[in-house]
Amino acid sequence: MNHQRRDVLKAGGSLGLFGLLVAAGLIRPEVAEAAWNKGAFDAKTLDEAFAALGAGKPADSADIQITAPDIAENGAVVPVGVVSNLPKTEQIAILVEKNPFMLAANFEIPAGTVADIQTRIKMGQTSDVYALVKADGKFVVARKEVKVTLGGCGG
């Protein structure tokens, strides 16, 4: 019997199971995030991305402010800022709904760091920008539409 093949199959099977567990939110994100969260970055739909981040179906929140231009002339460089006024904010993720890679960045905010992040992202086309915030163990989300004149993901 080919033992090596069996081992490879076993390893593959367990990896798949781990991925499923992460996606289902059964494994706590703290464990999963020890490495780059591939599932979340590869997600093709918002629901998938939220699930891979362990967020499920987050509720809307008015306590998150997204600072981004209404119209971005150059989609290659869109300044985006996220401020969360929720106490105990521990995570901020920035997602662009219509990008091939939705999840742009995921920030983990330790105690003592202000939930106020600014960065620059690429946008392929006009889209909603989502800020997913985990505060006190709960996920909430806010969105803002940014119109893009010139896409930043083309060749």
Q: Residue 46's closest CA among 125, 129, 107, 117?
A: 129
CB of 83 to other proteins, least distance (A): 10
Distance (Å, whole) CA 133 – CA 135: 6
Distance (Å, whole) CA 135 – CA 132: 10
Q: Which is nearer to other proteins, 14 or 118 (CB)?
A: 118
CB of 9 to other proteins, least distance (A): 27
Question: Between residue 9 and residue 38, which ones bind other proteins under the rule CB under 8 A?
Answer: 33, 36-37
Q: Residue 145's closest CA among 102, 110, 98?
A: 98
Question: Between residue 34 and residue 53, which ones bind other proteins under the rule CB under 8 A?
Answer: 36-37, 41
Interface residue with other proteins among 103, 133, 135, 142 (CB under 8 A) is 103
Q: Beta strand 71-74 with 138-150: parallel, antiparallel or unpaired?
A: parallel
CB of 149 to other proteins, least distance (A): 16
| Most distant pair of Cα atoms in the chain: their distance | 63
CB of 40 to other proteins, least distance (A): 8
> Contact positions toward other proteins, by CB under 8 A?
33, 36-37, 41, 76-79, 81, 96, 99-110, 112-114, 116-123, 152-155
